[in-house]
Amino acid sequence: MDHAFATRFAQDWAAAWNSHDLERILAHFTEDVVFASPRIVELIGDPSGEVRGKEALRVYWRKGLQHLPDLHFTVEDVRASVDTLVINYRNERGRAVAEVLTFRDGLVCHGLGAYGPEA
C-alpha cells in the first residue's frame, strides 16, 4: 500500500461518513469484515466489542448514525503500512480517534477504532 492510496482512501472514507450514507460507508468493507471498537459495547451491548460480517457492521453503524445525527469526521493524519492504514481524525466533539484498517483485494477486511480521552 502506498501513501497516495491511503490518503485517497481516507478522504473518501471521511466523505462517506460525513454524508451519513450508510451504504456508501459500507462499500469500503468486505462481506466477512471483522470490526472492533469500545463503542460496540456501548451501542449494541456486545461485551466482546467486536462485530463480524457486513450485516452486523450495518446494524452497529446504523445505530451509531441514529445516535449521533451531527456526526462529522475531520482527518488529521494518515499512515500507510503493508496492507494496513491508520486514519487519525477528530470527531464532531473534538475527540481524537484512530481507525486502523487492514485491506484484502482493495476492501477493508479488518478494522478497529481506538479513542483518545474525551475532548
* Backbone phi, psi, residue 112, to 5°: -150, 145
Contact 9, 86 (CB under 8 A): no
pLDDT per position as a tens digit, 4-35: 999 999 999 999 999 999 999 999 999 999 99
Residues 6+ apart with CB under 8 A from 63: 43, 44
Give the C-alpha separation, 111 to 30, whole Å.
Answer: 11
Nearest one of 17, 4, 1 to 81, comparing CA atoms? 1
pTM of the model as a whole: 0.94
Q: What pLDDT was estimated at residue 13?
A: 98
